C-alpha cells in the first residue's frame, strides 16, 4: 500500500486538523451511552470499528500515546445490547473500540493511519472469516473535526488507489457507546494462548509492530 504519510501531510496543508477541538472539550461516553461528568481531561477520544474488537484492542494498546482502549458496541438502535444481541445482527451495532489518547503524543490522523493499515476497509461487513454487520469497518466521529479528517482521508486513499478495491468504511456520528462485557476487555493480553488469539490476533499485532516500530509504547 502506498505510504499514508503523504496523505497526512496533505491533511495538514489543508488545515483540516485545526478543526479539532482542544482535549478538554471531547469527553468519552460511559457504558450507558451518556457522556461522563468529567469536565476537563488531558485526553481525547476516538472510536473505531475494524472487525473483531479483540483484534482492534490488541493493536491500539501497543500504540504510543494511547491511554486506554475499551471494547464495546456502537452504531445500533437498541439500548444496552449484550454480545449475543449484537452477534445476532438484529441491533445494528458494530463491535468497536473506544480509544482514549494523549493528543500531545499521538494525533487523530496518526490514529487513522493505524486504523487504515491494520484491517481491510474494502470488505463489506467482513474481516477475514469474521462475517456480519457487527464486523463492519467504521469510524464513529466525536466532532466535526474528526468527521472531516476521516472523510478526507478516505477520499485521498481511494483517489490514490491505496487499496485494490474501493473503501467501504462507514463514517458516522457517535450517538451512543456501550461498554462490552468484562470478559471482552483486555482479551488478548489475558487469553493469548487461545487459538483465535494465536492464529488471528497475534499475526495482526506482529504486523502492526513491524509497520509502526517507531511508535510503540516502551515496555
Q: Which residues of 2-32 are buried (b: 16+ CB within 10 A; e: fewer)?
A: eebeebbeebeeeebbeebeebeebbbbeee
Q: In the structure grid, which three cell numbers stand for residue 189, read together?
A: 493480553
| Marked catalytic residue, from 52, 55, 97, 197 | 52
Segments of 40-151 assigned E as strands: 44-50, 66-74, 94-101, 126-127, 130-131, 137-141
Query: Has 97 been annotated as catalytic?
Result: no
Contact 71, 180 (CB under 8 A): yes
Cα 127 from chain centre: 14
Tell me the catalytic residues: 52
Amino acid at each position: 500500500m502506498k505510504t499514508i504519510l503523504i496523505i497526512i501531510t496533505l491533511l495538514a496543508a489543508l488545515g483540516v486538523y485545526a478543526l479539532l477541538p482542544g482535549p478538554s472539550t471531547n469527553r468519552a461516553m460511559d457504558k450507558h451511552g451518556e457522556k461522563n461528568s468529567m469536565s476537563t481531561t488531558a485526553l481525547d477520544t476516538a472510536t473505531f470499528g475494524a472487525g473483531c474488537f479483540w483484534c482492534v484492542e490488541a493493536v491500539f494498546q501497543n500504540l504510543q500515546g494511547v491511554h486506554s482502549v475499551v471494547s464495546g458496541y456502537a452504531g445500533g438502535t437498541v439500548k444496552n445490547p449484550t454480545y449475543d444481541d449484537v452477534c445476532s445482527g438484529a441491533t445494528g451495532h458494530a463491535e468497536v473500540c473506544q480509544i482514549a489518547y494523549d493528543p500531545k503524543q499521538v494525533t487523530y490522523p496518526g490514529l487513522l493511519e493505524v486504523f487504515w493499515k491494520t484491517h481491510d476497509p474494502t470488505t463489506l461487513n467482513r474481516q477475514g472469516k469474521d462475517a456480519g454487520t457487527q464486523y463492519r469497518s467504521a469510524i464513529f466521529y466525536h466532532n466535526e473535526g474528526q468527521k472531516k479528517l476521516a472523510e478526507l482521508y478516505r477520499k485521498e486513499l481511494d483517489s490514490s488507489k491505496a487499496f485494490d478495491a474501493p473503501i467501504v468504511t462507514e463514517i458516522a456520528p457517535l450517538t451512543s457507546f456501550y461498554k462490552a462485557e468484562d470478559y471482552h476487555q483486555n482479551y488478548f493480553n489475558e487469553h493469548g494462548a487461545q487459538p483465535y488469539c494465536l492464529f488471528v490476533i497475534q499475526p495482526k499485532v506482529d504486523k502492526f509492530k513491524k509497520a509502526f516500530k517507531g511508535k510503540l509504547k516502551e515496555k
